[in-house]
Amino acid sequence: MKRKEEARVLSQREIAPQIFDMWIATDLAREAEPGQFIAVYPRDKSTLLPRPISVCEADRERGALRIVYRVAGQGTREFSGLRENDRIAVMGVLGNGYPLEKLRGKRVFLMGGGIGIPPLLELARRLEGEKRIIVGYRDGNLFLREDLAAHGTVYVATEDGSEGTRGNVLDAVAANRLEADVICACGPMPMLRAVKAYAAEKGMEAYISLEERMACGVGACLGCVVKTKETDRHSHVNNARICTDGPVFEAKEVEIG
């Protein structure tokens, strides 16, 4: 059951240029699943909409959520100034995450690019069995690599070739001759298009988390939609709402180009 509440900042630090790592105390941590997100509200009333930020890690015993985000505008710039014991309004837990039950007993690629990497951490923590974590960065600022390595073998790709394989996550798969049964991916749209095409070519299942600018975050405004094979019950057209039907979709069910 989604709800809005006031959370308390436990800690925050900058872990790469303009990438911030924040822990907040909130009961929402006890409900969060890999791939879900929360809506974070700026205090500045001129920024009317909350910012959707993926769950990076959920400590259910401590009642704490970890979010890792990039400063991209006025709202996230405000968040980056928060310090221990500051209060922040959040709503959650939102969206549908990765299907853990369907992944059980399978060899899984966890693929992340850029700010799509943080959601993979909770997935890596919760996912049992054989997994390969393939992450793509622009350069050598490899945020969260050590955290991910605690839960599986990590392979790195960088656009500038400064670490790991030069290129993208699929280049790293090829260079290391990796194989799997299913893919779970989160990242920019060009990466997800490539992952979808790769999965189709290899006859693999793939679950992709779509990043999209959201308004209401609860499915009312239809501001974030993706074309689908199936008719949406809400709009009665071939659209799905990323904020409520996703953000995670089976790749073959959505049209992303």
pLDDT digits (tens, 9 = 90+) for 113-148: 999 999 999 999 999 889 999 999 999 999 999 999
Print burial letters for 84-123: b (CB count within 10 Å at least 16), e (below 16). Answer: eeeebebbbbbbbbbbeeebeeeebbbbbbbbbbbbbbbb
Residue 250 has pLDDT above 80, yes or no: yes
pLDDT digits (tens, 9 = 90+) for 58-74: 999 999 999 999 999 99
pLDDT digits (tens, 9 = 90+) for 12-32: 999 999 999 999 999 999 999
Residue 256 has pLDDT above 70, yes or no: yes
**What is the residue-wise DSSP string for 152-204?**
SEEEEEETTSSSSEES-HHHHHHHTT---SEEEEES-HHHHHHHHHHHHHHT-
Rounded to two decimals, the pTM is 0.90
Pairwise CA distance, residues 166 & 175, whole Å: 10
Pairwise CA distance, residues 104 & 11, whole Å: 34
pLDDT digits (tens, 9 = 90+) for 191-219: 999 999 999 999 999 999 987 555 555 55
Residue 151 has pLDDT above 90, yes or no: yes
- Residue entry with tokens 């089976």: 250
Residue 237 has pLDDT above 80, yes or no: no
**Domains by residue range for the chain, with CATH:** 3-94 (2.40.30.10), 100-255 (3.40.50.80)
pLDDT digits (tens, 9 = 90+) for 161-177: 999 999 999 999 999 99
Q: What are the Cα distances from residue 34, in Å, to 9, 43, 136, 201, 234? A: 21, 27, 19, 26, 25
The residue-averaged pLDDT of 30-48 equals: 89
